[in-house]
């Protein structure tokens, strides 16, 4: 079924249905980046795998995501974002069923790789579709809703996993995606509109270089953080560096590059992407370090830890809907800078908690972090998308997802590095580093006030 390109977004029931399918899909894909972490010990015991080997259940999914986001975003510009999204959703749903039916670590890992590619199809064009679904005067609200779903889904992953595991086996973590995926697929086929298409061809060479660069980069960072053999680590990072240089050189002469170097010539886009990378590195540091901090340093139980983590996503859920519409009226540079400054303050306060803090003292600090993150994300996402011309929405959308995942992967790797420095003070060190990343992101965000807008991009929301 082909649905015409809307002149200025969808209206009425079609808008609600389109938003519903995007919300379901992005929530599932975001949850599955973190939900498996909680179940790793259970999965390892059930399939007779070592804890080290079981990490591939997480790594396989993340690597498949990172290496394919930009190629799928580029493909969306060529064949239409709707088509990439629908196929991504179908692959993700089928792969979720395969995960639930897996009987060994190799079969589960293989299914997670397929699931990662499906999630990449969803995430790579999700933000680009928002531009064609929401009316131009509501773009801020649209990206705000999307940012809210991503942030909350990522944050509550461990809580959701714990809830499912309390009454079922680990297979249910993946099985619950199947009916939700079917509903989202049916809605997508019925209501998502076609989008403008670019005449350029898909660049297979750039796709291979992109996969090599990001795959070896994330893998190398993880190896370095876990104190792997120095020669091997340097070799892995060297491959990433060489392939990255070749990728950038190849993109310079292309009219619509897969790695959007053309968009990075726009100061607002470049600074907003850097701000996003800093913010998600801070989030990745915090979300990995906080459970260890609460349990290992403060001696709290797993249940208490889950409850104390909850104020962050709750405050994000409260702040994001306000920040989205505000970004339609106020500069994202100011809103994002204030949000990241709040996040930096909250993280610093948590890192410097006294030896025996009270519950209230932890909760209000977590609330500051959640409010700051929610206040930043929506305006920054709007700044990235509105600074790119409509025909490059795919490239911009790919960078949104790539910045988020790369930042989270870097943050998680740095936590391991902090633990290697000191097992006792590692969590506090990681939280302090998270505060530093957030503060740096705030500075970069405010620097966007001096960036000169590009006229064609300014009209991109129309």
Q: Which run of H or E residues covers position 343? A: helix 332-351
Give the helix/strand (H/E) hosting 319. helix 311-326
- Report the distance separating Cα 335 and Cα 147, nearest Å: 14
- Write a three-state SS string for 226-240: CCCCHHHHHHHHHHH
The number of beta carbons lying within 10 Å of the beta carbon of residue 274 is: 18
pLDDT at 457: 38
Give the CA radius of gyration of the chain.
Answer: 21
pLDDT at 354: 82
Residue 303 confidence (pLDDT): 64
Q: Which fold has domain 262-462?
A: Growth Hormone; Chain: A; (1.20.1250)
pLDDT at 238: 92
Tell me the three state secondary structure of residue 48.
coil
Q: Is 355 helix (H, G, I), strand (E, B) or coil?
A: coil
Return the pLDDT at 5: 54
Question: For position 386, what pLDDT does the model report?
Answer: 78
Q: What's the confidence (pLDDT) of residue 456?
A: 41
Residue matched to tokens 């915090």: 286
Separation between Cα atoms, residue 294 and residue 315, nearest integer Å: 19
Label residue 201 exposed, middle or buried (CB < 10 Å: 0-12, 13-18, 19+): exposed
**What pLDDT is attached to residue 39?**
72
CATH number of the structural domain 1-200: 1.20.1250.20
pLDDT along the chain (462 residues), means of 10: 58 84 89 72 78 72 86 88 93 95 90 93 86 76 74 73 79 91 92 79 88 85 68 88 91 80 85 91 84 77 73 83 78 91 95 84 93 86 79 75 79 76 79 94 91 48 32
Amino acid 352: pLDDT: 87
pLDDT digits (tens, 9 = 90+) for 370-424: 999 888 887 887 788 778 877 777 777 778 777 887 887 788 778 777 877 777 7
Give the tokens for residue 267.
């100061």
Cα–chain-centroid distance for residue 263? 20
Task: Determine the 3-state secondary structure of 26 from DSSP.
Answer: helix
Phi, psi at 168, each rounded to 5°: -145, 175
User: How many other CB atoms sit within 10 Å of the CB of residue 428?
Assistant: 18
CA 425 to chain centre: 28
Where b means 16+ CB within 10 Å and e means fewer, 295-315 reads eebbebeeeebbbbbbbbbbb
366 Cβ contact partners less than 8 Å away, ≥ 6 residues apart = 308, 309, 311, 312, 315, 346, 350
């Amino acid at each position: 079924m082909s649905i015409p390109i809307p002149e200025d977004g969808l209206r009425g029931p079609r808008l609600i249905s389109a938003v519903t399918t995007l919300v379901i899909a992005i929530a599932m894909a975001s949850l599955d980046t973190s939900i498996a972490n909680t179940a790793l010990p259970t999965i390892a015991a059930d399939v007779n795998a070592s804890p080290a080997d079981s990490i591939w259940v997480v790594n396989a999914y993340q690597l498949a995501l990172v290496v394919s986001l930009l190629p799928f975003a580029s493909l969306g510009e060529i064949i239409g974002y709707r088509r990439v999204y629908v196929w991504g959703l179908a692959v993700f749903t089928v792969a979720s069923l395969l995960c639930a039916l897996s009987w060994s670590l190799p079969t589960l890992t293989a299914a997670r790789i397929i699931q990662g590619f499906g999630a990449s199809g969803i995430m790579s064009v999700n933000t680009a579709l928002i531009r064609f679904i929401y009316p131009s005067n509501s773009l801020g609200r649209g990206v705000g809703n999307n940012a809210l779903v991503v942030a909350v889904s990522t944050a509550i992953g461990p809580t959701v996993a714990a809830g499912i595991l309390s009454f079922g086996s680990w297979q249910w973590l993946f099985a619950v995606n199947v009916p939700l995926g079917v509903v989202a697929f049916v809605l997508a086929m019925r209501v998502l509109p076609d989008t403008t298409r670019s005449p350029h061809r898909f660049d297979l060479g750039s796709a291979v270089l992109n996969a090599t660069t990001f795959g070896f980069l994330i893998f190398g960072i993880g190896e370095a953080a876990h104190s792997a053999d120095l020669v091997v680590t340097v070799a892995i990072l060297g491959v990433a560096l060489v392939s990255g240089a070749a990728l950038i050189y190849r993109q310079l002469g292309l009219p619509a590059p897969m790695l959007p170097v053309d968009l990075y010539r726009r100061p607002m886009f470049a600074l907003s992407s850097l701000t996003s990378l800093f913010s998600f590195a801070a989030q990745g540091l915090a979300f990995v370090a906080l459970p260890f901090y609460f349990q290992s340093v403060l001696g709290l139980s797993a249940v208490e830890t889950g409850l104390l983590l909850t104020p962050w996503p709750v405050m994000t859920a409260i702040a994001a809907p306000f920040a989205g519409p505000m970004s339609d009226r106020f500069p994202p540079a100011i809103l994002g800078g204030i949000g990241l400054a709040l996040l930096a303050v909250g993280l610093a306060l948590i890192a410097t908690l006294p030896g025996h803090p009270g519950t209230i003292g932890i909760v209000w600090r977590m609330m500051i972090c959640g409010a700051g993150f929610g206040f930043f994300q929506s305006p920054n996402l709007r700044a990235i998308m509105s600074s790119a011309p409509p025909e490059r929405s795919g490239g911009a959308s790919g960078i949104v997802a790539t910045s988020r995942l790369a930042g989270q992967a870097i943050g998680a790797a740095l936590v391991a590095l902090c633990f290697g420095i000191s097992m006792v003070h590692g969590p506090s060190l990681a939280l302090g580093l998270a505060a530093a990343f957030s503060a740096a992101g705030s500075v970069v965000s405010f620097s966007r006030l001096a960036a000169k807008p590009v006229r064609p991009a300014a009209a991109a929301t129309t």
